[in-house]
Amino acid sequence: MKTIRFFWLILCIFAIFTVFGCKTPQPVVKVEKEVVERIVIREVAVEVEGPPETMMPLTPSILQRLRDYDDQTDISERIRMYQFRLFGRISLDREFVDFNDGPDDGGGVRFENLYIRDNIIIRDQTDGQAIAIRSTRNETALQLCFEDDSRLQLVFYADGNDPDGFFYLDYTPTAGNGDEKGTLVYGGDTYKVKFSDRRPYILIKLSQKFTDQVNSRTAMGRKVD
């Protein structure tokens, strides 16, 4: 009886070894890690310069507001305080003869005739200062200086009947071709004036803002005494 039990025990052990011992091992799966690329956007604070100067064409209506805001001081006294700027390029030309006479070696005398061409260029966007202002019923004129010498002035005028008109360069037109437009007096001398088809005019340094203001109150009533 013991022999039969031993036989079945050996048979069971053999079966278990056959089933589990001969099982094919599972292949090892190699898992690759996914590499994620992360892009970092870094914002750099850049200091931005302030807005450029605001230059507006000068008009009679702007000039009138300059008169109105300070009625205690005459505009002819305050006009020098404001910064003006030329819009357009101006070229002034004149030709004249001068003499450089004097003694010569050996007791002689020397006559020398100098043929001189004087050219003055006032570039676009050149700063200027008003020296004087004069007004009539029909127009307003500004005398502006673009050089250190206050005697060297150009005149710009606007039609008094057009509140939105510009202050254009004043000159005497002559018949001609090209850029030569006419003549004007500059520092006491007469020059030929040249500019492109755009007639030069004046800008003024002007800042402007709009503010909302609400005036509100409640009436408290009024009793009769």
State percent of the chain over pLDDT 90. Answer: 39
Alpha-carbon separation of residue 33 from 30, 36, 110, 204 (angstroms):
10, 9, 102, 69
Closest CA to 146 of 195, 106, 88, 94: 88
Cβ neighbours around 193 below 10 Å, total: 24
Q: Would you list the domain boundaries of the chain?
A: 55-99+109-205
pLDDT digits (tens, 9 = 90+) for 89-104: 999 999 888 888 788 7
pTM across the whole model: 0.66
- Judged by DSSP in three states, 20 sits in helix
pLDDT digits (tens, 9 = 90+) for 101-131: 788 777 788 888 888 889 999 999 999 999 9
What is the reported pLDDT for 8? 62
pLDDT at 52 over 80: no
53 Cβ contact partners less than 8 Å away, ≥ 6 residues apart: 205
Sheet holding 90-99, edge to edge: 113-122, 90-99, 189-194, 180-186, 172-173
- What gap in Å lies between CA 161 and CA 175, rounded to an integer? 28
Q: Would you state the structure tokens that stand for residue 164, as one six-digit string? A: 């939105």
What is the reported pLDDT for 20? 53
What is the reported pLDDT for 101? 77
What is the reported pLDDT for 26? 54
Cβ neighbours around 77 below 10 Å, total: 10
Q: Give phi and psi for 131, each to the nearest 5.
A: -100, -35
Q: If you average pLDDT over every residue of the chain, what do you get?
A: 80
122 Cβ contact partners less than 8 Å away, ≥ 6 residues apart: 86, 89, 90, 91, 92, 146, 154
Strand partners, 24: none
Least confident of 13-17, 72-76, 169-173, 180-184: 13-17
